[in-house]
Structure 1
Amino acid sequence: MVRDQQPDSERSGEPSAGFDTVSVAVVERLAAANGCDTDALPPLFRSVDPDALERLVAGGSGDGGLSLVSFSHAGYEVTVTGDGDVTVSE
C-alpha cells in the first residue's frame, strides 16, 4: 500500500498485494509518489536491473542471500527487500 504523498514521507507495500512483479510494484509506487503516470517516469533499467530485482525476491531473504537492495530512481530512494517489501522515500 502506498501511504499519503506528503513530502519526506515513506511509502511501502507488498508487491504481492495486486502487483505481478516487484518491478511493477516499484514503478507503480514511484508514479504514485511522483503524482504521475508510470509512462512519465524514466525507464527503471536506467537505475537498476529489473531482472535482478525479480531474482532478489524470488530467492527471498533466507539462505544467507541478499536481504535488500537500495537504489535511486526518479528523485526517490527505493528499497526492495528479499521478502518483496518495496519502500519509496524522498
Structure 2
Amino acid sequence: MPHRDNSTWSSMVNCYTQNGYCAESLQMFKDMYVQGFAAKPELIASVLSACVRTGDFGVGRDIHALVVVNEWMEESVFLSTALVDL
C-alpha cells in the first residue's frame, strides 16, 4: 500500500491479532510506531493481547511504559483490562 494512515495501520494490526497472526501483528505495530504514527488506546489493547498470546512480555512491558508516560490509563477501559491480562 503506497499511502498509509492511522486507520490502515490500525486495521492491519487488529486483523492480524484477531486472526491469530500475533507475531505479525506485533511487527506491524512496531513498524507503525517507528514510522511516527500514534496508536489509539483501543489499538494498544489489541497489541497487548497479541503480547500475551505470543508470550512477548518484553514488548508488553515497553507498551505499559508508553501507556504510563502518555497517561492513557484513564482513557480506555479496554486498555486497562488488557494491562491487567498482561
Common topology (TM > 0.5): no
- As a proportion of its length, which structure holds more strand? 1
- As a proportion of its length, which structure holds more helix? 2
